[in-house]
Amino acid sequence: MIQSTMTTTSLDAHCSTLRAHAADMTVEQLRATFDAFASLLKETNDPESKSAIIEHIISPLINLPYKTNAFAESTLIAHELFLILRDDAIIAQFRQRQTGTHTTHKHTQLVSVLFMNVIHKMNEDNVSEFHHLLFHQPLIDELANCLHEIGTYGQHLTNITLLRSIKSLLLTYKNYLRHTIIGDEYTLLLPILNSVIQCLCSSYAVRMIKTLKHNFTQKLTDPQALFLDTLPFYLQWYFEYEDPENYGRILRVLLNEFTQWFTNCPPQAYITCTQHIGRMIRHLNYFLVRPVESENVHIFSEEFYHDYCKLVAHWSLILSTTLPCFPDEISVKDSTRIIIKNLYNFTLHLNVLNYMKTMPNLIPMLLKVTDIEDDEIQVNAYRCLGKIMTEADIKTMTNPSQIASVYIDFITNTIDDPYQKERFHSLLKSLKNFVQHDQVKTELIELKALPLLVKCVVETQYDPIKVQQISLEMLLALSFNTEACSFLRQNQSFIDHIRALTLNTDPDKSGLQRAAEGLLWKLEEEEKAVAKPSIANLYKYDIMISYSHKDQQICLQIHEQLVKDGFQVWFDRDCLRGSTMVGIANAIENSKHVLICMSNTYKQSVYCHSEAHYAFERGCRLIPIVIEPNYKPDGWLGIIVSGKIYVDFGNVEFHLAYEKLKNEINEQEHHDLIVSPVKPEDKDSTEPTVTYSESSDTSYQSIVALPKCITEWTCDHVKLFFQRNGLSNTFLLLFPHIDGHRLLQLYEMCLSNRESMYQSLKFELNERYHTLLPIADYLSFLHEMKAMTDYIEERFTVISPRFNHKLSCIFHRKTSPYVDDQNREHVVILCHGYLANKNAAFLPELSRGLSDSSVKQFHSVRFDFHGCGESTGREEWDYGGYEDEAKDDLRSIVEYLRSQNNKYFVRALVGHSRAGTTVLLYALYFDDIPLIVNVAGRYRLERGINDRFSKKQLDELDRNGSFVIHTLESGDFRITKQGIERRKNLDIDKIDQIRHARVLNIWGDQDDVMPGDDIYLFNEQLAKTKKTEMVIVPDADHCFKDTEKKLIDIIKPWLQQSIE
């Protein structure tokens, strides 16, 4: 019974008013109600009566913070009612937890929830009032002691009300920690932190994981929710948690158990994951997987490597089971969003990143994810791809420009939108990962990214660190491209702006200053520095160590050992923070040897790129060392270190690797690998004679392969070609900056007049460098170039006359092709299948096979049908448009080749899958190509409709008249009722009217896409002309994966036959 001057009726009236009118009450009215509640509680001495009052008033109070903004008023937060509730409903109840018969009152949980709700009203005006309420030592001590008893003795695990109260209080402090922390608040909260860590390192935490069922739909018990959800979530917001020792302790206890549970859950079931389990996984993953910024993080990455690899493999399996689902469904998008975030977290561990690069299906799946219409999913997928993809992966993409195009579109749409500032910053940071790849650099430049990045640097509204610095670093990366470098040099106002940035004195903007200095040196000083002669035997240092700051620990160990062994070593402990590029260049010029400390972070660092490139251009003695387990250099780094012995510190014990390093240094002492000036006595020439020595060590192995097509070579590829073939002291001196196109022109000039070109080159080499051109070098150049120019791939575009589509084509041109008696070079046109592209399935391999015959060598042309790959016409693409593809697309390619002054003769058409039917229709309509190859084409077109599409898609077709197909490489295609009817009405039986063309029908006996009896139908119908053959390839699937050679060995000899 309530004994007070306030009657029960009056108490009920206040509570009713709060329930009904809280949203409209003023601060004064709320304060009056709070005064009444506080007065009543202070007048009540009986504990049971006080508990009854609290239970009565807490119900209308608990959701009050969500009903009125007046609750943020500091005078309300400071009201004594909250202090009374804190002391009587929480602290007093917590102190009674040790009583054997005591059960925590329900109102303790409700008051804790009230505190959790009201903390969301915290702002700059009321933060001190919240501090006074929450940073009360008895409250902190009781909460910490309670957690200590749970983690040490397993007490209170059956007291559900107490556990839920703890959960709400921890979330209250967590939300407080999201704001700016003042004074000694972290220190005051240390008892809670220590108890939380103690709980997570306890056997009880392990037990909570062990008691989980192997599914994603279970409901967590309250103890499980506390240990596996709330405690990990709390740690995310605590600064001191980033202590590596705490990080390691928790991982050593929980990671393996979590890995076992997670990997035993069926991957296909993740899409049905409940909200509670999903949140638990997210919070556990945050600190079990996502690394903290620490000099020792690599230690944890190595210690937990095997568990991380198991987890990332299982997430990959989950992604593979999620992708076939309908991506427009909310649950699918939500699942995919979480999967991609988790995969990205694994890329932050560099050794796990190297493992991810070896996962065969991960990149294709992530590329498919980029087709999902969701900005967050797309951005995170590209963040992953930026880390995982190698130069080779990007080059094999059908449409590599897609990466650059998507980023440019995203950035253009967010750059000036104040509501998308964080997304804009994230996009720039993500794009920076891709800029390390040469192919992406080229595409960005073509898409006019340079003016966009210049805008980000020069306009003052952009964040100096998150925008201006990152943009400058990307421009520095792009400046290694000749076209980009020229563009930036011509922009004098931009040059003046970055010169002003180099004068910065603000220590908070030192990174921006460093980026500006690096780019300015690249644009204005590098060429002069490279040309500056080196003076032999006047080195200040034995060794200069070029490394990434994130790899400092192992590099510092190498440095210390070298110094101990008497070497003079240049090593920047602060990783360039006190050294400009001028200082770095000076160190390189004054060092006998340069150690290139290779890792993912080294490859990604534009500053490391500048150092290594300058040392390479200077012809320095480079010693590449691998300092990251399983790392394989590619791209610009692979080119620079190619052909050199590299020392492996990543997978070999330190003392063994160090001995190999010393041996390599000693070995190089016997070789003259430096640039040395030689001034002839009879000339006043100021130009030095430059020599590059090639190592005679036959154990040197190439780390990267030159692109097979010479027109794809960059300047660095050409340098590598000269070096590998012993032409560094002759041809490399004459042509240090030419790319593959210009090298091909040089070769063709030499072929047209060998003697005069030899004399010209010899004269120029002697005049400029006082060095003779040995005839052996000239002949070696001709011999090696002949081998490298066996074929050339050239891109071109054909405009179709009927619909004006731009058809993207690749001409695989043999340098010495078969020529008939009319002086025509023979060409085979290769056509791709349904929703595919010119580089799909076996087509590239067949191109190379046709030009590699010992009898007749043919050119080939691959192209994208309209709406596919890189061709235009997506809106006009039609599921039943076989006739358009034959009469317009394919006919356009044939006519284009015939228009080239009668130089080419189209010998054959090869069509795969859908195009197998298309090439036969072409023969029906025109019958002017002698040979037709149908590989896995479909005869009964109506059957393909039900085989290919799901019931859900066909139902959508009935309702809406169309549905959309999402593809990995080419985007979205719309299937319409009209297109399906056109396909059904196509009369394939008419192919028996083909009179002149000979036809080869091929099918794989493991083809699960095209029915096996279709090939017999083709053969039976064509047999009426008596010009058809049929071949069934054993063990071959629809795309002839792993059986390409069998297929090519069938097609090549058949195309060699006489066609007269």
* The pLDDT of residue 703: 45
* The pLDDT of residue 1041: 86
* The pLDDT of residue 876: 86
Percent of the chain with pLDDT over 90: 42
* The pLDDT of residue 292: 52
963 DSSP β-pair partners:
975
* The pLDDT of residue 682: 40
Asked if pLDDT for residue 1012 goes beyond 80, the answer is no
Asked if pLDDT for residue 1008 goes beyond 50, the answer is yes
Residue 870 tokens, joined: 């890189």
Chain-centre distance of CA 646, in angstroms?
Answer: 27
Neighbours of 869 (CB within 10 A): 22
CATH 3.40.50.10140 fits 541-671, yes or no: yes
116 close to 168: Cβ distance less than 8 angstroms: yes
pLDDT band at 578; cut points 50, 70, 90? very low
Please write the tens of the pLDDT for every residue from 362-396. 998 998 898 888 878 888 898 899 888 877 777 66
Residue of 431, 446, 353 lying closest to 386 (CA atoms): 431
* The pLDDT of residue 518: 92
Q: Which residue has the tokens 């220190």?
A: 187
129-149: average pLDDT: 95
Entry pTM: 0.59
What long-range pairs does 1037-1040 form, CB within 8 A, spacing at least 24? Answer: 1037/1004, 1037/1006, 1037/1007, 1037/1008, 1038/913, 1038/936, 1038/1004, 1038/1007, 1038/1008, 1038/1009, 1038/1010, 1039/840, 1039/841, 1039/842, 1039/912, 1040/841, 1040/842, 1040/935, 1040/1004
Q: Which residue has the tokens 């090298």?
A: 743
Please write the tens of the pLDDT for every residue from 963-986. 988 765 566 789 999 999 999 989
821 close to 884: Cβ distance less than 8 angstroms: no
Please write the tens of the pLDDT for every residue from 307-334. 999 999 999 999 999 888 766 677 788 8
- Residue scoring higher pLDDT (1054 or 754): 1054
* The pLDDT of residue 47: 85
Please write the tens of the pLDDT for every residue from 220-262. 999 999 999 999 999 876 644 456 677 788 989 999 999 999 9
pLDDT band at 144; cut points 50, 70, 90? very high
Asked if pLDDT for residue 546 goes beyond 50, the answer is yes
pLDDT band at 89; cut points 50, 70, 90? very high
Asked if pLDDT for residue 507 goes beyond 70, the answer is yes
Determine the angle formed by the axes of helices 977-984 and 941-948, rounding to 10 degrees.
140
pLDDT band at 544; cut points 50, 70, 90? very high
444 close to 454: Cβ distance less than 8 angstroms: no
Asked if pLDDT for residue 115 goes beyond 70, the answer is yes
Report the chain's terminal Cα–Cα distance, integer Å: 113
* The pLDDT of residue 294: 46
965 DSSP β-pair partners:
973
Neighbours of 465 (CB within 10 A): 13
For the structural domain made of 796-943+990-1056, what CATH number should be given? Answer: 3.40.50.1820
- Residue scoring higher pLDDT (855 or 586): 586
Residue 585 tokens, joined: 């260049």
385 close to 328: Cβ distance less than 8 angstroms: no
- Where are the strands (E) in 769-819, listed by range? 791-799, 806-814
* Helical H segments across 92-159, by residue range: 92-95, 106-118, 127-134, 137-153
Name the range with the highest mean pLDDT among 276-290, 339-353, 564-578, 908-922.
908-922
Please write the tens of the pLDDT for every residue from 892-943. 999 999 988 788 999 999 999 999 999 999 999 998 999 999 999 999 888 7
DSSP 865: P
Q: Cα separation of 892 and 840, whole Å?
A: 21
Q: Cα separation of 763 and 772, whole Å?
A: 8
Please write the tens of the pLDDT for every residue from 637-687. 887 887 677 899 988 899 999 999 998 888 777 544 433 434 333 434 333
Asked if pLDDT for residue 868 goes beyond 50, the answer is yes
Q: What is the mean pLDDT of the chain?
A: 85
Strand-by-strand arrangement of the 647-648 sheet = 569-570, 541-546, 591-598, 621-626, 647-648
619 close to 674: Cβ distance less than 8 angstroms: yes
pLDDT band at 883; cut points 50, 70, 90? very high
Please write the tens of the pLDDT for every residue from 166-216. 999 999 999 888 776 665 777 888 899 999 999 999 999 999 999 999 999
DSSP 363: H
Asked if pLDDT for residue 568 goes beyond 60, the answer is yes
Percent of the chain with pLDDT over 70: 89
* The pLDDT of residue 132: 93
CATH 1.20.140.10 fits 389-525, yes or no: no
